Amino acid sequence: MQRLILRNKRPITLISAILVSGAYTSHYLLHQEPAAQVMMLIASVIGVLPIALQAYQALRVKVVSIDVLVTIAVVGALIIGNYEESAVVTFLFLFGDYLELRTLNKTRSAIRELTEMAPESALKMMEDGSYQEVDIDEVDVGDSLRVLTGAKIPVDGQVVSGEGHVNEASITGEAVPVGKQAGDQVFAGTILDNGTLHITADRVGEDTTFGRIIQLVEEAQDAKSEAERFIDRFAKWYTPAVLVLAFIVWLVSRNIELAITILVLGCPGALVIGVPVSNVAGIGNGARQGVLLKGSEVIHDFSRVDTMVFDKTGTLTIGHPEVAQIKMYGEDQEETQSLLYSVESQSDHPLARAIVKHLAGAAAHDVEQTDVVKGGGILAQVKGRRVAVGNMALMRQEGVTMDEQARQDAAAMERAGHSIVLTGVDGQLRALVGIRDQLRPGVGEDLGRLRRMGVKNLVLLSGDNQGTVDLVASELGLTQAHGHMLPEDKAAYIKDLQQQGHIVAFVGDGVNDSPSLALAQIGIAMGSGTDVAIETSEVVLMNSDFGRLPHALGLARATARNMRQNIVIAVGVVLVLLFSLFFSSWMNMSIGMLVHEASILVVILNGMRLLRYRLRPR
């Protein structure tokens, strides 16, 4: 019976509305007072049933909820024969509950859209070479898949063959199609606008970028902010306090109707719903714009950030360094190139890949032995020669000599902002390679927007040489820049900033950034970074779009501001109603409940404004 009543709250609300309307018609138009009283009584009894059941369920878990206040008030009104007010109060409460639920569902629409966009099937290559449509759960890593025009890409993977344009709005928030061809990465949940692609699955199911988005957003909804925890504590004590106040008023005045009215006017409905609706709407907006905010606690802290610390490679820069300059020493330069090419071919370091790409076509030799020196470079035996490729520290360790000209060349490369890779062969310096990573397009303008938004300190911490770091800082107008920073140095620097009272956000993308991401009040990971960086961060910029960072900060501040507005509205309404009850003659139970439901709608609609939040374009 309880489940039947609670499942049919909407029909009960409709019946209550019909009975109340019929009662007013009988009273004012037909002048049938007995019929009006009967309809009001029936509306009161029917309407209070779901409210009383919800109150009973709350009391079973030792929670004195708003439903308890309304139930006591309605029963009291029935006892004293005030059927009109009891009927109107129950109808308004049920109708407000219906509007609240419907409006909250709209705020969650952005997140629901995400889950509905999840791919359900895929065209998988079978053993006989044919393609068959299978359920998405039957796709494994390494499977070959075909994606046709208009279809959703089912997995994260790499294009093996074919060309086409993909709408990646579900991942990046950008609706402009991106051209894809062999070797490019594609993401689950994105849509192939035209063409045909053959891809190999790298990540499937919940491990895909799209799957992680849904998981992180769902987790974010469950996380409670400081404001929500305050409201939980407040509601726990506030509702019993209203009951005590009503009882004291009755003891003093012996006016049962006044005491019952206090119960109705004291309902903190808007306070309970105001902060969660702002939280859900803010997270939903971020999810649609390529920004993952992991919970309302993150929003609260992020909105107060005054210092942002950045890694360089892959964050402020594209992360694909290229050789900008080479200086050769000694007579046999062709041999030096082949030795350097052979050794660097053994490494997957970004600088090594840049050198291999630049020296493509050089003769390759068998590398007999390699020894990777952490933080230094690589040592190898090639054709009986001892080859050292790395930084200055490695050269000193190996006793590689540098004449004055080589030192001047190295200093000039540093001033030009190049990362320097030195090559020593049998103790002699044979090559200096200057490598430069390109800045992300528009990053300077994005940093300028952060400054205008009130972020006072923009700090660059990098493991690169100080010359390169200073040049980047100068180009971008950063507050401070520090080079030669190991992961533990970055973490120590952030801890020092926090001890000075700064609210710090760290932006990075690599495994070496994880300690700093975890230590900062707000860790911000680039979406194409490592899984460790994404998991330890509080904010994720999907598809590594740095331009989303100002939107993320602006959204966090707008959401925090919206939460405060809703708290003020909710508390203000209750105070005004109680003040009006004691110091005016027009306030009664029905008017109080109407104002209450109106305030609930106001805070919900105020929260929904966040769904339309946009930072002004550059």
CATH of the domain at 332: 3.40.1110.10
In a domain, 476, yes or no: no
> Is residue 567 a contact partner of residue 227, using CB atoms and an 8 Å limit?
yes
**Comparison of pLDDT for 505 and 618, the residue scoring more:** 505
Beta strand extents in 343-446 (DSSP E only)? 367-373, 377-382, 385-390, 419-425, 428-436
pLDDT in tens, 4-30: 887 888 899 899 989 989 998 998 888
Note whether 271 and 235 are within 8 A (CB): yes
Q: How far is CA 179 from CA 186, 526, 529, in A?
A: 10, 21, 21
Please determine, for residue 207, whether its predicted confidence score (pLDDT) is greater than 90: no
Element (H, E) at 64: none
Query: What is residue 508's predicted lDDT score, i.e. its pLDDT?
Result: 83
Q: Residue 116: is its pLDDT beyond 80?
A: no
- Residue 568 included in any domain: no
Cβ-in-10-Å burial (0-12, 13-18, 19+) of 430 comes to buried
Amino acid 279: pLDDT: 79
Cβ atoms < 10 Å from Cβ of 14:
15
Query: If we measure between CA atoms, which residue out of 371, 353, 275, 189 comes closest to residue 565?
Result: 275
In Å, how far from its chain's centre is CA 467?
A: 35
* Number of neighbouring beta carbons within 10 Å of residue 335: 17
Burial grade of 410 (CB within 10 A; 0-12, 13-18, 19 or more): buried
Q: What is the CATH number of the domain that holds 169?
A: 2.70.150.10
Asked whether residue 602 carries a pLDDT value surpassing 50, the answer given is: yes
104: Cβ–Cβ under 8 A, 6 or more apart, which residues? Answer: 273, 277, 280, 604
In terms of Cα–Cα distance, which of 174, 452, 472 is closest to 318?
Answer: 472
| Structure token digits, residue 592 | 């109080």
Structural domain contains residue 197: yes
Instruction: Work out the percent of the chain whose per-residue pLDDT is above 90.
Output: 22
Task: Say if CB 518 and CB 185 are below 8 A apart.
Answer: no
Rounded (10°) angle between helices 109-116 and 269-288:
40
Per residue in 43-52, pLDDT tens? 989 988 998 8
**Residue 61 belongs to a domain:** no
Give the total number of structural domains in the chain.
2
Residue 447 lies in a domain: no
Query: What's the pLDDT tens digit per position in 384-427?
Result: 899 999 888 889 888 998 888 999 998 888 887 787 899 999 98
230-239, 252-261, 415-424, 484-493 — which is least confidently predicted?
A: 230-239
Q: CA-to-CA distance for 268 and 238, rounded, in angstroms?
A: 8
- Quote the CA–CA distance of 40 and 75 in Å, as a whole number: 13
Q: Is residue 40 part of a domain?
A: no
pLDDT at 220 over 50: no
Quick: pLDDT tens for 459-503: 999 877 787 788 889 889 999 999 888 777 888 899 999 999 999
With cut-offs at 50, 70 and 90, classify the pLDDT of residue 85: confident
Residue 179 sits in which domain range?
Answer: 120-151+156-203
Which one of the listed residues 311, 437, 509, 545 is annotated catalytic? Answer: 311
Displacement of CA 136 from its chain's centroid (Å): 26
392 CB-near residues (< 8 Å, 6+ apart): 410, 420, 422
- 304-358 confidence digits (pLDDT tens): 999 999 988 778 887 778 888 999 998 788 899 999 999 998 887 778 888 998 9
The pLDDT of residue 316 is 87
Query: Any residues with CB less than 8 A from the CB of 273 and at least 6 apart, and which?
Result: 100, 104, 600, 603, 604
Candidate ranges 322-331, 451-460, 607-616; pick with highest mean pLDDT = 451-460
Task: Report d(CA 158, CA 384) in Å as an integer.
Answer: 40
Provide the token pair at 211. 């799957």
Distance CA 360, CA 338 (A): 10
pTM above 0.85, yes or no: no
Residue where a domain stops, chosen among 170, 203, 236:
203
* Res 510: pLDDT: 59
Q: 166 in a domain, yes or no?
A: yes
Q: Which of 436, 471, 500 is the last residue of a domain?
A: 436
What pLDDT, on the 0 to 100 scale, is given for residue 219?
55
Answer positive or negative: Cα dihedral of 231, 232, 237, 242.
positive
Give yes or no: 311 in active site. yes
Asked if residue 604 is part of any domain, the answer here is no
N residues, the chain: 618
| Mean pLDDT taken over the chain | 82
Q: Can you tell me the mean pLDDT for 259-280?
A: 74
Please enumerate in sequence order all residues whose Cβ is within 8 A of that of 348, keeping only pairs 6 or more positions apart, or say none: none
Cα separation, 618 vs 544, whole angstroms: 18
pLDDT exceeds cutoff 80 at 440:
yes
Q: Is 450 helix (H, G, I), strand (E, B) or coil?
A: helix
Binning pLDDT at 50, 70 and 90, where does residue 535 land? Answer: low
Query: CA-to-CA distance for 203 and 310, rounded, in angstroms?
Result: 28
The confidence score (pLDDT) of residue 269 equals 62
pLDDT for the residue 110: 47
CB 158 within 8 A of CB 203: no
The whole-number average pLDDT for the span 88-112 is 65
pLDDT above 90 (res 129): no
Q: Which amino acid is at 209?
A: T
Of 128, 135, 172, the residue nearest 155 (C-alpha): 135
Listed residues 436, 462, 497: the one ending a domain: 436
Alpha helices in 325-428 (DSSP H): 333-344, 350-358, 392-398, 404-415
Which residues, in sequence order, are CB contacts of 22 under 8 Å at separation 6+?
39
